[in-house]
Amino acid sequence: MLEKDIENLIAKYPLEFFPKEHLILKGQQVNIGRCYADIIFTDKFDRLIILEIKRGILTREASGQIMEYYGLLKEQYPNKAIELILCANTIPLERRRFLENVGIECKELGISLIQEVAKKYNYKFLDEVNITEKITLRNINKTKLDTVIKSQGNNIWIFQGNPEKFDVVNALSDQNNPIDSWRVKQHKDEIKKGDIALIWVSGKEAGIYAIAEVTSDPQFMAIPFESEKYWLDQDLKEKSKLRANLKILKNLVNNPILKEQLKKIHELTGLSIFRFAQGTAFPVTNSEWEIIKKLIK
């Protein structure tokens, strides 16, 4: 799921996201002087409604950019009624308050809502277009995933990521595959090469966002260069930590198995991450894994 996908869905189906606004599309990626607007609508009061789209969690840096952008708009259109709406998957409360205090409306667009609209209108996400190379890689990973799933004796883990410290959604959407290790704070003597890791994103839309194979025992290592830009916690980014290497086998970022879905399954109500959510690694029992496997397939 790319930012462009979110932009396209809002532009084509604004009623699904803003049911009371009566928005009429004027354009996408519109040049407005020194910058480009992701989407411009007009409303029933003939105001310009400008939408800025951010995928994943709204960072401090993005908040500052939007403030600057809003200032440019007001400068260029001093006599025009303009409303700026910021849309992101997750907007931390303190950043929402900061932006709304200066007149920028904030709207969270959860991944589940985007999925629902895409499914309703049969919209295909741009990063799932059937390019030959992608099909080949997907088939290779599927073969490996099937092998890992069928193998016996592997430990199964939930590896949890906090989106306010590491932007998991955008990292999983990156074609350079920057997620090739995970910090290990618990069970460091039990996690082994060959185990299976369910990549879990915490927060409002918590759930399983990828399936990975653990490709090394935990060891002290720095984060890879490719993933640096997705680390929002400077302290964690700069220090060597105990980590296990990973290989993503199935990316579920466009269709995650959400916590609310899992909690409805009686046999999964005892998942360790439900009972104690603090930490980075949580064991999954064999019986729980048998059920989760069916959801993955």
Distances (CA, A) of 189 to 136, 185, 193, 201, 221: 36, 10, 11, 23, 16
Residue 224 confidence (pLDDT) above 90: no
> What's the mean pLDDT when you consider all of the chain?
83
Residue 147 confidence (pLDDT) above 60: no
Residue 160 β-bridge partners = 200
Summarised one tens digit per residue, pLDDT across range 178-223 is: 888 898 988 989 999 999 999 999 988 899 999 999 999 999 988 7
Domains of the chain: 3-120 (3.40.1350.10), 133-296 (3.10.590.10)
pLDDT of residue 146: 57
Closest CA to 206 of 171, 164, 242: 164
Summarised one tens digit per residue, pLDDT across range 156-173 is: 999 998 888 888 888 888
CA atoms within 13 A on the CB side of 286: 5
Sign of CA dihedral 165, 259, 186, 214: negative
Who has greater pLDDT, 69 or 42? 42
Phi and psi of 2, rounded to 5°?
Answer: -100, 165
Lowest mean pLDDT among 20-24, 214-218, 233-237: 233-237
